[in-house]
């Protein structure tokens, strides 16, 4: 039994390593191409690592392209969307978790319904609504669209957070004289703490007759860094939110 268990453990570890390698290979190739000099991109053939590495693509992206502008636009849109979605979804999620009111299940059904349609079906209606308002080529219009797309899922996520927090905490605060909103803001909410923009800007590295793969990959690597750091910081809280309230006992 010990030998069989050892073999199964080794096979399991090998399977996990194979999956991790398969999942991370695109990121590795992204990094590999980003440090490959332009002169070697099409002449060296397929290699796991270039014979000569260079940071020329990163230098070009940071100093001679519009990448900083694209990155700033993405930061503005992401930060604005995150703040608005957090405020709206936290209030909505708290109401869904703590109160019973007429039409509650209809609202839940409508929120679920929004998740059933592919986003490509909504592009034309969104454009038709935003165009008369002059918001089709602005960061404000993009924030509105992202907020509309993310609020339903974020509401369910926040509701699961609140479902995992005992009601006794806010009841005790209200007995001590706090209003419900004060209890929500000072007691409940802190317990739930836990993300042209860059994707479109990548197309600027694609011209009519060529594609600057090195510069595009370098820009991709630079854009991944803050995203990876952000999710490393919030992953524990994100997993807690997805699983909170799922088990009761």
CATH number at residue 178: 1.10.3720.10
Does residue 104 form part of some domain?
yes
Q: Does a structural domain hold residue 97?
A: yes
Give the pLDDT confidence of 28-37 residue by residue, as tens digits.
888 888 888 8
Cα dihedral 40, 44, 50, 52 sign: negative
- Of 152 and 203, the structure prediction assigns the larger pLDDT to 152
The average pLDDT across 88-105 equals 85
Residue of 111 and 231 predicted with greater confidence: 111
Q: What's the confidence (pLDDT) of residue 14?
A: 92
Residue range(s) defining the domain that contains residue 152: 66-213+222-243
Establish if 153 belongs to a structural domain.
yes
- Identify whether 237 is part of a domain: yes
Q: What is the mean pLDDT of residues 18-24?
A: 90
56 vs 68: CA distance, rounded Å: 16
Distance in angstroms between the alpha carbons of the first and the last residue of the chain: 36
Q: At what angle do helices 56-63 and 67-98 cross, to 10 degrees?
A: 80
Nearest alpha carbon to residue 81 among 89, 71, 92: 89
Q: Does the residue 4 lie in any domain?
A: no
Question: Mean per-residue pLDDT for 36-48?
Answer: 78
Question: Residue 248: its pLDDT value, please?
Answer: 46
Q: Is residue 57 part of a domain?
A: no
DSSP state of 99: -
Q: Is residue 199 part of a domain?
A: yes
Greater confidence (243 vs 88) lies with 88
Q: Bigger pLDDT: 212 or 121? A: 121
Local structure of 111: helix, strand or coil:
helix
- Whole-prediction pTM: 0.62
Mean of the per-residue pLDDT values of the chain: 78
Condensed to tens digits (0 to 9), the pLDDT of residues 130-184 reads: 888 888 888 888 888 888 888 888 888 788 778 877 777 777 878 878 788 787 7
Q: How many domains does the chain have?
A: 1
Q: Does 18 have pLDDT greater than 90? A: yes
pLDDT band at 246 (very low <50, low <70, confident <90, very high): very low
- Which has the closest alpha carbon to 162: 80, 89, 59, 84? 89
């Amino acid at each position: 039994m010990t030998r069989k268990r050892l073999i199964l453990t080794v096979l399991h570890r090998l399977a996990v390593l194979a999956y991790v390698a398969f999942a991370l290979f695109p990121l590795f190739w992204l990094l590999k191409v980003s440090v490959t000099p332009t002169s070697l991109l099409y002449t060296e053939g397929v290699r796991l690592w270039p014979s000569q590495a260079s940071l020329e693509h990163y230098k070009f992206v940071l100093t001679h392209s519009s990448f900083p502008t694209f990155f700033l636009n993405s930061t503005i849109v992401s930060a604005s969307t995150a703040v608005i979605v957090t405020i709206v979804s936290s209030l909505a999620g708290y109401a869904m978790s703590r109160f019973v009111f007429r039409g509650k299940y209809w609202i839940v059904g409508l929120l679920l319904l929004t998740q059933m349609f592919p986003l490509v079906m909504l592009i034309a209606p969104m454009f038709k609504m935003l165009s008369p308002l002059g918001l089709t080529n602005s960061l404000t219009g993009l924030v509105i669209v992202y907020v509309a797309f993310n609020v339903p899922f974020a509401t369910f996520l926040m509701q699961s957070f609140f479902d995992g927090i005992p009601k006794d905490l806010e009841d005790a605060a209200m007995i001590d004289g706090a209003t419900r909103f004060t209890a929500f803001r000072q007691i409940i909410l802190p317990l739930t703490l836990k993300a042209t923009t860059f994707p479109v800007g990548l197309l600027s590295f694609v011209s009519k007759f060529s594609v600057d793969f090195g510069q595009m990959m370098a820009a991709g690597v630079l854009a991944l860094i803050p995203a990876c750091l952000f999710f490393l910081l919030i992953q524990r809280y994100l997993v807690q939110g997805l699983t909170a309230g799922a088990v009761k006992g």
